[in-house]
Each structure stands twice: as structure tokens, then as C-alpha cells.
Structure 1
């Protein structure tokens, strides 16, 4: 039985997209590790030629702290998803993160024990013994050959650890933190020559770095109670735990530092535009103040913030996961590696994971199919959510890192459990730890309307998902058009045609009763004049 409802909503400011974001390809690798999948992290970065470089563990050897150590590997996939390069580094190591420059050179950093063997003629010796960790920073050319390598721990302190790098033009920024809570920002040229060094003291983390066209450096991290010196700028912190966002001039002198109360020492990220603004992103654990802006904090368990700070250090806005009006229906958190990026039009992209269903402020709804799904969000520079997208299966999936190529295609890496669906692409792994690399199209916004009419953005979703045996399929039309809404199974066989008629612009909901079909994965596809999208649905009986 199909029940049909219509709700027409007038919108005075909406964004029209000519077609939806679609996963073009997904590559994956299974890892035979029987531990908590949260101990794994799968970083990545796109280069300027449409390739993406991903880093994973290759041969697991031990758990140390909350990370998997062993032989490590990085792979390069070209724009069509073909693997064109792979390189294995042997030892007991992890890859923390990856970045690329405009020439396709690859920069990678992480931690290792004993000796890290890069290839037959290149290795880095650990200055300690046993479980002592050293941190490496290596530059490879686009063919995977070593150009230079550094043992950061040996260079700067017996306990120095690299926490972040950022490539911008001909500059490499590195954030380093020692075990006695001294933060160091090192500025290198791309040949690895140090050009500038500044100190933050004391700080617990230094996790976000960026540099603008004027050479101003932006940093983010966490600190504790007391006086903190940000490159010559003294700031008193009255909180036990704080986020900090700091700006330095091109000479490395502190200009301002802004603090936000927290409940732990976390790892925020920052990106900047060329108008002097900086954007910060991280986990949000309570209803803290960002300047004078009050946040709501988590409605359920997880929450994140995205904030914009102007050139003078004023918080302009903060976005988070909206609280529901009743019982919490969903929540979300950001990724482990590169969680926040910015494009040339100052649009912002976030990856992480989502549970349940979230009704975002911009009349956009996202739903997870399982316990946790990969989440990708795109905001404009005013903090307006342009679109959101989930992918996953019936269990636990997440996005760790997000990057863009020069054509604004999106690459996402992360972890999935056994089987996941990315639009109509199904990937099957083994066990709980399976790394994926996915390419997602990123269609440009074709126009913005500000009229007293009925403009709408498009979307397609269903709730609940998974379901048994009924689910409500919701969709939205921007214009009057012929609409076809079809359900088909995983083999492509048509199961039901729910709608096949002309409809006005508006919001529609249709109940699909799947009582006469078996459990499994199904797809709902909407086709209209300017919009086609497919949504995965999971029937559990």
C-alpha cells in the first residue's frame, strides 16, 4: 500500500543545483586486524592533476596507545580510480597525515619505532629504543622517490612530535608539540630548509595551521589554565581546558589569540581565505561561548562546530548539528585526519560520521543507514549549508579525510565495516577494518534566487532507514516537472513505481510498504526535469 502526502513550503532564499553530488568510484582495502576500528586512521590528499594519495597500514605488528603500528603503504589513484603508484615503508610505523604541492610532490609524516626503512637506500633511525617513538617527515616526488627526509624528534627535541603539516604555494608549515607542552610552528621551503620558528608555550595540542597570501599564519589547538605565550603574545587562560585560535604576522609575531572553553584537550582544524578570515572546526562537547555566540552543544552524544573569525579576531558565526525539537534523532562528529578544507570560492567541506537523521537548518535532511555513516557537508562562506551526503552500510562507517583536486572533485577516505553502499556503488570488505577511497562529483551552484516565489533546492531521502517494513520517502522539487520515483533492488530489477506524473514545486512524502519483498538493500531513484538522484534503503526483517 502506498500513501501519498504533500506539504508545500514557500522559501524566500534558496539555492538551485542542476544535478546532485554522485560518487564516481570507490576503492577499498581490507586489513586483517581484530581490534577497535577507531584505532585506525586513513589520511589522504589530492594533488593538482586529479590524483589522490592515500595512506594506510600494510602489515599490522602491534597496538601502541590507540594506534596500529606496522609496515605502512601509500597509494596513488588517478582521476578514474586506477592505482598508478604504491610504496611500502617497513618497520613499526603509522601515517598521521599527507599533503601535496602543486607539482604533485607528496609530503607524509607520522611516528615510528626502531628503524623506518623507506626503500633500499633510504631509512630513518630511531634515536631511542624499545617502544620509544620518533616522528618522521618525508618528501617524495610524484613517482614515489625520496627527495628528502627528516627525523623531527632528533632535530628538535627528544620528545618532539609532529601534529600537523600544511602546504601552501612554496611554503611548508609544520606544527610540533613536545611532551613538556611546548608548541613549535616551523616554516620550511619545499626543499626542507627552515625559514622561521615560533613558540607557543605551554599548549597541549597544535593541530591546525594555515597561511594566507600576506604571509599571516593561523593556528589552532588546545591549552590549559594559566598564562600562555603565543609567539610573544601573552594570554591568560581561566579555563581548565580551552580551544585556541591564534593569528601571527608574516614575521611570526602573535597578533591575537582567542580562547573557547572546552572539556578536554582536542585537535581543532583551521583554514583561511584571502580576505583575512579564518575558519575553525572540531568536536563540540557542551554549549560553550564562541566570543558572544552561544552554542547549543550536543543534543545526543556527538556534535561539532564550524566557526568563522574575521581578521581582527571576532567570531562572526558558529554552525553545529541542530538540536531536535523532541527526542534526539541524530548526531554527527568530524573526521580523524583532514576534517576541514576550503575551495577557491571560499566554500567549506567537512567529513566525519553521522548517526540517525539530522534536519539541518537549511531544509536539508541526512540519514544514516546503519549505526554510523560517512558524512560529507558543504557550506558557503556565510555558514549556509549547501548540501549534505551520507554513505555506508548497516554497521559503523566514517570519513577520516577530505580533499579537492583542481576541478573541485572531492576525495574522501575512511573506514567501513564489511559492506557499504556509496550511491549505487557497493563495496564489500572483510572484518571491521576496511579502508576506502572515494571520488565524489561536486557540481557548481547554478544560481541563487531571492524572490517571493517558490524556489526550492532538490533532495531525496527516506526515514526510517533501516526500516521494517515501511519507510517514508521524502523528496523536494525546485520547479514544476514530470517526476518518476522508482524502487529497484541490488541487481537493478524494478520493484515498484511510486510516482509517475507531473508535480508542482514543493515537498512530497510517500510511504513504501516493503512487506512483500525480502530483506536487503534497495534503491529509490527520482528522475525529474533537472534532477536525478538515487538513495540507498535497507530493509531489515
Structure 2
């Protein structure tokens, strides 16, 4: 199944994942997911359902039960006794299931259905394997979240992946199938490469990153790569994220459809920008500039760094850095809005014990 979640039979946990805000209130909502059942209880237990936005009031519960080493799948609108399929499904086999919730006018009239497939979804919506009739279970006022349950009474041990949330059958087919996503590091640059086996309605990919180590760190947009629309042929993509400071980073792709829907694909491993091998100070960029510009500098070890600005006559104009810095890749941005246009020089001096590194470069301020 790939990078999946395992629902075990120990420790009670309920997860509510919002896919749509505000939630849908009319028509039908479809939730598809891949499942691989490892073990189930003969009494049957549920592991998934759908919920309103920001609410634990779930409906459309999906059940699994063991019957003579075969598996039966079931569904219930609320917490009434579920309807089950015949016990024709196998353990340790991946199935694609679709849960359907349909809004129907009136009170307690909404219905739920369940579809089960052993490979891909058909292009047109078939008759569901199971469908509940209207009953006394209250209706939901909106549907925007998927609920996942672990170790509820008689719950199964099941692997799930590929959760997909849409309001039409046509949109249930995954628009993009990612078959690889990896990263390589060259000095302070990260080269991201990924491939798709097929694409449908693919506008493109936003690349996002954040500093690793704190889940509260904000994801930042690093770039965009145009997609190939609809194609049944493999496609290969690459982008370079340049000029990172020393540290650990996480990356993800935000695949965007032409209709605005999107899915996230996370890079499995963190990316680490290490320590350079030698001292270096870059040409400022942009150059010419007005009034702000940046300079990159590399330190193979910690040291005291002093960077000063001089005019063409050698007079000191400004000190932009004068502090102790750790070894690594660094960037500084500064502003010369207070001086006139002309040619200027910046000089970096790094002092460590009895060693000193000095380098000077020219830049142009053009107002």
C-alpha cells in the first residue's frame, strides 16, 4: 500500500481529518480508501466513517468481521446493526472501498452506501455492494471530515492508505499517481525529483518546505512546476531549491487539479544541509540593486564574522554584521537606502583563534 497507517487493536484513538471546509450539505459525498485487513473479530467492528466539519458526530460507519478466515465488509448509517456483504474477501489483500453519503430532503432520510473493488474504480458509478435504507439515525447537517477509529469495541487490525474525498464519482479516480519522490543535496541546494505513472486534470505541483524538528513550523512555498494535464504515460519532474541555510528540512508536494482540488505528498525523509568545506562569500544578489540585496557566506567552522560596506574612496559606510556565527551556510540581507547611487565594496573578515579569512567584492547601487 505504500506510506500507510496501521490501525491496531491496542490503545483507543479517534482521528478526525477535515478535507472540506465548509462541508458539503447537498448531493452525494464519496470517500475512497485502500484497505488491507490483517485480523478481524467475528463479532465485527467499525474502523472508519464520515463526520461534519469540527464535530465527532460520525455516520456511515464501515465494519469488518471475520468469518471462517474470510472477511465480510459492513456498513451502518449510525450505530444500528450493520448490513454485511457475504464473507468473500481475503486477509492481507488490498481492496479499494468507497463510502457514499447522500443527502435526502426530510428528517432521518439520508442514506449511505458502500462499494468494494479489488483494483481500480470504474469510470461510471455502479450499484453499491451495500446500501442502507432510511432509518431513525439522525442525518448530518454537513459532511466535511473522515473519521478513523482504533481499538473501538471489536475493531479490526487494518492498514489504510489513499484516503480521497470528493462530491462526484468522476472525481474519485486519483488525478495523479506518484510513483517516486526523492531528494539529493549539493552543497546548500536541494534537488527534488518525482515521477507519476499517470495524470488526470493535473494543473501542477506546488513545492512546500519547513524547518524540521517542530511540527508548529509553517510550511513555506518554494516553487511551482507545471503538470501535464491528462496523460496515461509516465512523467518525470525536477526542481532545485537553492541557497538553504545549514539545518534539517521537510518537503512535500501539493498537487493541484484544474478545478482547484489538491492532495499532499510528503517526502519520507528529512533533508539535511551540512557544513561547507571552506570559507566563501558570494557576489551579492541582485546586483545592481535598489535598495536591498543579499549575500551568502560559508563557514567551515564557527568564528567571529565582520562584514562592512565601503564607498569607492575606501570610506567605511556601514557595518552589516559583527557577531559570532556557527559553522554552516548563511545568508544576510541588508539595505543601503540611506546612501546615493554608485559603486560600493563589501568586505568579510572571519577571525578564529590565530587564523583570519578576508575577502572583498564590488557591488552597484542603482536608484
User: What is the TM-score of this pair, normalised by structure 1?
Assistant: 0.28
- Which structure is larger by alpha-carbon Rg, 1 or 2? 2
